Structure 1
């Protein structure tokens, strides 16, 4: 395999699993589960190989691929690049971390599928692997049209995985997801088409040059007002995905009603597409417009942080509390980006990775608890540590990471994001620190009530953590601690990217 084909195989190898699953009888449950899991592994191995290639100080450009794909208009002879769409994949330090996160969480969520999905594994894993391909493609696409295609490829399987295999109000959650995200997609498509019509390209790097270099002669000029309008449209499109309050209600339903493997992927990866879009396209293509609304973004981030934390504090159902916690933690990403300096942007990216790992682990543990007890009501799970000490211990440890305990990934990301915001907007940052206090309050209140609180039920005969359940728990916990004690595993690949964005 040549280096230029690595990313192509990394992105599309899950589809080989879809092809094989399509020819397998749906009654062969064990074989279907095995094939579904196995075909998440090539992407994981290749993602780690590219990561260690970068850590060795070697260039990531050797993995880039660019092939002519679609030509619009009759410009082949005059300028073959004009109104051409290329199949182009590539990674930098930032996108590489998201690719590794996607591959890791997808493989671990596939284990959760084999453990907790009880029916129709063939259809589930086919949709699951299509979803993984879409996510990997989103973070490696180097032009907007290819990005949009992969972006849409994540929506359809998520809709069906939730609507068919979710909990009691699964159809409502699936339709809410599709309507909100479909609206965001429509707005994004309009922006892409306008940029393509005005510049003749959808290449991300070329768009930055065309939009921000006054010496470039565009096919049709874009005024400052038009640039701001395009940027604001991107803010709405990706703000829905993040989500930014008040565009968040669909996310709460998804976290409460989607099956646990889907929630692991949704909270761990899909929400990060919103932050990725704001960084890659908002800040990356429209830096002046981003700077002009930085204060607004910081305020929205504080609103997300405090609103999510307050409502998480009053929840009586643990899964819904975690849903509001995700809303709150997305506010930290917005606050870090709004700082527009190296520390803030680094904190925002760290928070994307950290929250992806912590939330995936928390929701996996929620799935284990629900499988054993049939409930996630906090009041019904008092004394959990007595009956399931390992599960209770890992739950408490993960909660410590979520509230930002030093030595875990949550502390590194929150400290860096707030450091950046204190440098840029100290008053807003000071208000935001209330959210950190609230996070500690609601996490400790819920987890301590569940693990060591008054027991309202007997846990005798309930099994503790067992078998394959150890794999996602130990891997995710190891990564959370590794980032906390050795943050250079993230900061080293990010160095060049951070200098370009916030330097």
Structure 2
């Protein structure tokens, strides 16, 4: 059976929801919310179907599609400058597609608290999902870039129109920083395209590693290093790497909770995906040369985020700095350049996507009821919201790396990899792990069992559809922690490719 249509259907199926929403009246809020939510179900089912396809022992290449798209012509008989419509997935990108579909569906449920201009909100939401799914399935750099850009505009409006008090400042900060990253990425793509005549990711990996393969003028080592540094900056803004992080803090605090679920859970992971797929995948030798610098950047991220999270008074800011700290673990794992480290980095990408989505969902629940996220105003919450407080505590334990939860697996492997090659830096990084426990326990125990400054007995606990995101995300976090092979098994082929590129 020909399955080449599946990825196209996966990526563009949310557009059907946008088309239906165009015919739904603005005043019919229940129908708008229902259509917005239901439109996220087809990509979720298809994404889960790709995972089941893998579990049944079938090849993920069955989903690959390649068709003529843009041809410049006139340069050579073989039409040297051609861009193809290419979609494909491997184990790594499949897991990110599943993560994207799951978080998008749960964020759509969390959006039921949005109470103004719902039609525009869900249209932008679904367009954002198209961009995210496209980023992780694109098989050439130009298509990747187009989907990458597709995520920026909806996100800009979702922050700027439906966010909190300083939403416009946060939206412009998001757009400026990410726009600069996009410009740098575009320069890299154009250099590779003009020199190698292709933007196909697999072909680029071969040509850059063996530049004499059919090329009159191979790319020099200095140009490769320059391109890798440019990629490090472009995706470092997205990750983010300190000091390119200030925009992210504004977004995490000012964007509506459902959008922060997507931003922290998925969009930040595009930075990690780009570093792994393009930085490490296309320029492995140059990545080796920068490994110590990348490890140091990871340690800086880890410690900087952890220490500043400790002194924050707003729970949103605690979680924002926590995200910076946890992205440092991704850099640490990649810098190790061994199987344990790289697998730990990828595990951290998936794990943090689930944990951060759960934490920001719970922040949205608390803010909706109490109109505050200040730690001083949330003490003793367990009296009035015991279930929400219990899930919050569990999410905090996962974030600090409690064994039996996904955070432990990713942190253990990333540090194991770094200890093998850079034990001194790894030992310094362990301070960040200790600080993570300190700031998370301080914040979450203060919220749940700390001194109460107001009466919460009249506040309602989780109810109705709110249980679905909370329970689903917590289940997945525990599942990965107890049974990590649900991630590890699909990653083996991708890891093998990366290690071969590194000469391992």
Q: TM-score scaled to structure 2, two decimals?
A: 0.98
Query: Structure 1 residue 336: deviation in Å?
Result: 0.2
Equivalent residue for 2:31? 31
Mapping 1:264-279, distance limit 5 Å: 264-279=261-276
1:308-349 deviations in Å (ceiling 9; x for gaps): 000000001101100000000000000000000000000000
Q: Compute the displacement of 1:356 (Å).
A: 0.2
1:91 maps to 89
Instruction: Say whether 1:486 aligns with 2:483.
Output: yes
Say whether 1:101 aligns with 2:99.
yes
1:406 aligned to 400, 403, 406, which one? 403
Give the C-alpha shift of residue 275 in structure 1. 0.3
In 1: Cα distance, 2:4 partner to 2:496 partner: 26
Partner of 2:132: 135
Give the deviation of 1:24 after TM superposition. 1.5
Which residue matches 1:79?
78
Cα deviation digits, residues 23-72 of structure 1 (max 9, x gap) = 22111100010100101010000000100111222100010000010011
Aligned position for 1:16:
16
CA deviations on 1:66-107 (whole Å, 9 max, x unpaired) are: 00100113157x214x21100000000000000000000000
Deviations 1:119-162 (A, max 9, x none): 11100000000000000000000000000000000000000000
Q: Tell me, yes or no, if the aligned pair for 2:305 and 2:322 is still in contact at 8 Å.
A: yes
Aligned to 1:60: 60
Partner residue in 1 for 2:4? 4
CA contact (8 A) 2:212 2:218 kept: no
The CA distance in 1 between the partners of 2:263 and 2:20, in whole Å, is 25
The 3 A distance-change label for structure 1 pair 277 and 25 is: same
Aligned to 1:249: 246
The separation in 2 between residues aligned to 1:207 and 1:257, in whole angstroms, is 39
Equivalent-residue separation in structure 1 for 2:171 and 2:319 (angstroms): 19
Contact 2:139 2:200 in 1 (8 A): yes
- Give the distance between the partners of 1:454 and 1:196, measured in 2 at CA: 60
Name 1:239's counterpart in structure 2.
236
TM-score normalised by the chain length of structure 1:
0.98
Aligned residue for 2:323? 326
Stretch of structure 1 that moved more, 468-477 or 18-27:
18-27
Q: Where in structure 2 are there 5+ consecutive unaligned residues?
A: none
- Identify the residue that residue 451 of structure 1 maps to in structure 2: 448
Task: Show the counterpart of 2:111.
Answer: 113
- Aligned residue runs from structure 1 range 318-467, under 5 A: 318-467=315-464
1:9-32 CA deviation, whole Å, 9 max, x = no partner? Answer: 000000111111112211110001
SS in 1 for 2:219: coil
Query: Cα distance, 1:217 vs. partner?
Result: 3.1
CA distance in 2, matches of 1:2, 1:174: 43
Aligned-pair distance for 1:224? 1.0
| Contact 1:339 1:420 survives alignment (8 Å) | yes
Residue 477 of structure 1: aligned partner: 474
Q: Runs (4+) of structure 1 moved beyond 3 Å?
A: none
How far does residue 219 in structure 1 lie from its aligned partner after superposition?
5.3
CA distance in 2: counterparts of 1:233 and 1:385, whole angstroms:
48
For residues 448-478 of structure 1, the C-alpha deviation after alignment (integer angstroms, 9 at most, x for no partner) is 1110001000012110010000000000000
Question: Pairwise CA RMSD of aligned residues?
Answer: 0.9
- Cα distance in 2 for partners of 1:372, 1:26 equals 26
1:174-220 CA deviation, whole Å, 9 max, x = no partner? 00000000000000001101110001100011111111114313254
Secondary structure (helix, strand or coil) at the match of 1:4 reads: coil
**5+ residue gaps, structure 1:** none
SS at match of 1:499: helix
8 Å CA contact 2:2, 2:62 repeated in 1: no
> What secondary structure sits across from 2:312 in the alignment?
coil
Distance 1:171 1:228 in 2: 37
CA distance in 2, matches of 1:121, 1:249: 29
Per the alignment, residue 200 of structure 2 pairs with: 203
Q: Describe the superposition over 1:409-454 as per-residue Cα deviations: whole angstroms up to 9, x where unpaired.
A: 0000000100011111111101000000000000000001110001
Matches within 5 A, 1:191-230: 191-218=188-215, 220-230=217-227
Distance 2:489 2:176 in 1: 39
Equivalent residues of 2:87, 2:137 under 8 A apart: yes
Which residue of structure 2 lines up, in the alignment, with residue 69 of structure 1?
A: 69
Is residue 2:216 matched to residue 1:258? Answer: no
Alignment length, in residue pairs?
A: 500
Equivalent-residue separation in structure 2 for 1:215 and 1:155 (angstroms): 38
